[in-house]
Structure 1
Amino acid sequence: MSSGEELDHAAVELRNSLMRIARRLRAQRPPGELTLGAMAVLGRLDRDGPATASELAAAERVTPQSMARPVARLVDTGLIERRPDPADGRQTLLHPTERGLEFLRADRERRDVWLARAMATHLNDVERDLLRLTTRLLDRLATAPDEPGPAPSDGATAAPVPPTPPRP
């Protein structure tokens, strides 16, 4: 296997592993709670601050119509609130409420506890050290430019990646 093929294989394994762990983390939410879309909206408002529904839709890569349901659910449950935009009175900004921030904190804590227990139970010291290094790698990849780098040195070319379709 060439070094380019080894990197491709490692990338596939990393992607698959990240997706499996993400599914496991999502599964730690109690049934009947908010949808993943609503949780994503609440998390984004916590991270990025107030936004319009259109801005949230663009950030989450969904249509504005698809954003209406999670926003309405979050408003109805008192986890976010609408406030007039001080810069443009025609706009409404969505803000997380104190209740929403507490809900989000508890959800994150529940998943963090599950992950910490799983790591303590299933990983040895060397594996936990390796995980710390992997976390540093993932942090670097998270801030890497979205544009692909130079073509692999073995002359192979990467297939173009189709655009991500909006989520329903």
Structure 2
Amino acid sequence: MDGVRLLRLGKRLTELGREMVTDHASATLSPGEIAVISDVYRHPDTSVQDIRARTGFAQSHVSTSVARLRERGLLDAAPDPADGRRTLLRASEVARGYIRARVARPAEPVIAAAVPDPAQARRVTELLDELAQLLLPQDGAPRTGGPGDRR
């Protein structure tokens, strides 16, 4: 597999993943807002500056997204107890419940729609499970991913 094909595969998997976790409610969020709320969900009690550093977005973009997400009730904000000038953000209970429900959905229906042959769809699911096991961090340990890494 060459790099271009790997990128195309990654893009297609991202599209399938988005189909699974988005619906009419989340479709009203911009991709940037989705990235911000996803980051806050993974890093509760975080600041705009921390989100900016992790996402690579401009601070103005993060601030605008945060304001919109707070208006929609998807982010909660509280003063930082260590520095009252700073605001800490976390996904609201509504957002956390919604996210948990969406990510818990099985991938099989989306894969079946993308690969109409049932046997091939099962094989794709098996291969994706195997790839996830090989390429994603296990138990919080980062993957080095080097050629000699045989974890």
TM bracket, shorter-chain basis: 0.7 to 0.9
1:100 to 1:124, Cα distance in 2 relative to 1, 3 A: closer
Match among 12, 17, 20 for residue 9 of structure 2: 17
CA distance in 2, matches of 1:26, 1:129: 20
Match among 126, 139, 148 for residue 129 of structure 1: 126
Question: What amino acid is the match of 2:79?
Answer: P
* Alpha-carbon offset, residue 14 of structure 1: 2.4
Q: Is residue 144 of structure 1 aligned with residue 143 of structure 2?
A: yes
Bigger RCO (CA 8 Å, 6+ sep): 1
TM-score (norm 2): 0.73
Q: Is residue 97 of structure 1 aligned with residue 92 of structure 2?
A: yes
* Alpha-carbon offset, residue 127 of structure 1: 4.0
TM-score (norm 1): 0.67
CA distance in 1, matches of 2:77, 2:69: 10
Q: Which runs of 5+ in 2 are unaligned?
A: none
1:42 alignment counterpart: 37
- Map 1:54-65; keep pairs closer than 5 Å: 54-65=49-60
Match among 43, 47, 53 for residue 48 of structure 2: 53
Larger gyration radius, structure 1 or structure 2: 1
CA distance in 1, matches of 2:121, 2:74: 39
Quote the RMSD (CA, aligned, Å).
2.8
* Alpha-carbon offset, residue 149 of structure 1: 7.1
1:100 to 1:131, Cα distance in 2 relative to 1, 3 A: closer
Contact 1:84 1:90 in 2 (8 A): yes
